[in-house]
Structure 1
Amino acid sequence: MKSVIMLLSCLTLGAANIDPPIKHDMFLFETPFLIGKWHIINPNLETRNSDEFLSITLLLESNYRFRIWVRNKDHTVKTWSGDYSADEHNLVIGLSSSSPQTFEYNVNPSQLILNGVTMTKILPRYLSGYWRSSVVKGDDVSASKISEIDLVLYPNFYFSIQSFTYTGMKKYRDGVYYIEDNNIYFIFDDGEQESQFALKRDQLFLTNEDSDTYIAFHRGGLD
């Protein structure tokens, strides 16, 4: 743990301020599960020689920009930002800084392991749970004669979805999802789908910029 915080703390703000690059089409991004906000709480707070921080949050974006927040025991917060790169095995943070740091990593939809230290992906508040559609509109869903959709978003970034048609047919699919900004990306065994989402405590709205699809959900309970 101490080696990780020391490496992260060595990063500087780097070169002059520039406009961040445009974010990528996530379906073309080579390591999409890296994208998101990752968090770890210091597990050694009660020990005398523990690191002087409460938690670390690491944001990785698809335009290869990062930001780190380190919350200290005195509740001050230090931040660093800059560029990163990644291949299948290594994550390099602070490419434009005076001391780029290289981490070996493993990642799954909900956990990022950096040099053996596990960080957990942060889920937007109120997003997980069971959602039942109240409005389903759009040419795509109309062509499929879909009348109702049940969507379950699990906190570990897995999901299941079941759609029902006016003729009584139903289709079940499951997979993993990930989020960047207000975009949610669903990965199925047989495909993938992008939507924009808006969230209130008990309402979820999904739209698609490339179609006229609009789905309004209300929070329900599993039957």
Structure 2
Amino acid sequence: MKWYVAILSFVCSGSGLSSSHKSDLTQFDFPFLIGEWYLVNPDPEDPHQDFMSIHLTLSSSYTFAVQVKKRDSSVEYWEGGYTASQDTLMLGTHMIEPQIYAYQTTHNRLMLNGVTFVKSLARSLVGYWQSEYLSGTELDVVGVTQIQLILQPDFLFFIRSVDEQGNEAVHRGVYYTESDHLVLLYEQGEHDTRFQVSADQLTVNFENGAMVAVLNRVE
């Protein structure tokens, strides 16, 4: 059952929607690894640490990229493939000497051998969004008339939906992004959507057009 039906479980019980296959992103085994991770040197004057910052990108295609900004303002770059288990991350799978790390992760923190990286998000997506217009091939089945969505910079989300009778439902969870994918994870499961953001307007496409929400930023 689609996530937006779960959100409206109080107001749309028994609604039937056509199903579609989940994208590969929702099938990825380690979703909390995906993202843009940053480490800033807390003591740049320490002569034993020759870097200012490290930017690590991990993608769902099992590729990575690392940019290291050095103290002399030069930049080192490294990319390749990676593998992961529940507690081990290997960078450079096809290299003679890959780097192996013990890791732990949450929805917004990644610890590699005890060193903590913080996940970063484009500020344009963060905010409080209110629906201006809803459409879609299954909008009549879903019965939604209004959506409010909050995307926090710490990768927590809050969503409130209202139906034609004024009944409302609220859900909270965590989210992650990759390219134009916005994946919402909540107690009942997860759902992959596609999004576009332009200035102060966010468009979210659910299930290949089953429901499309155009939302405006609320200041």
TM range (shorter): 0.7 to 0.9
- SS of 1:206's equivalent in the other structure is strand
Give how far 1:50 is off. 4.2
- SS of 1:53's equivalent in the other structure is coil
The CA RMSD over aligned residues, in Å, is 1.4
- SS of 1:27's equivalent in the other structure is helix
Q: Is the 8 A contact 1:146 1:163 kept in 2?
A: yes
Q: Is the 8 A contact 1:138 1:214 kept in 2?
A: yes
**Residues 160-195 of structure 1: CA distance to partner in whole angstroms, max 9, x if unpaired?**
100011111111111111111110100111122211
| 2:68 counterpart (57, 67, 70) | 70
Instruction: Report the Cα distance in structure 2 between the residues aligned to 1:151 and 1:44, rounded to whole angstroms.
Output: 38
Give how far 1:211 is off. 3.0
TM-score (normalizing by structure 1): 0.84
TM-score (normalizing by structure 2): 0.85
Q: Hey, what does 2:113 align to over in structure 1? A: 115
**Residues 11-61 of structure 1: CA distance to partner in whole angstroms, max 9, x if unpaired?**
xxxxxxxxxxxxx712211111101110111111133x2412111011111
Instruction: Report the Cα distance in structure 1 between the residues aligned to 2:201 and 2:213, rounded to whole angstroms.
Output: 11
Give how far 1:133 is off. 0.8
Runs of 4+ in 1 over 4 A off after TM superposition: none
Q: Hey, what does 1:27 align to over in structure 2? A: 26
Q: Which amino acid aligns with 1:191?
A: G
| 1:182 counterpart (159, 175, 180) | 180
Q: Hey, what does 2:20 align to over in structure 1? A: none
Paired residues, what number?
197
Larger RCO (CA within 8 A; separation ≥ 6): 2
Q: Hey, what does 1:152 align to over in structure 2? A: 150
- SS of 1:46's equivalent in the other structure is coil
**Gaps spanning 5+ residues in structure 1: where?**
1-23
Q: Is the 8 A contact 1:44 1:50 kept in 2?
A: no
| 1:168 counterpart (166, 179, 183) | 166
Instruction: Report the Cα distance in structure 1 between the residues aligned to 2:200 and 2:208, rounded to whole angstroms.
Output: 26
| 2:134 counterpart (125, 133, 136) | 136
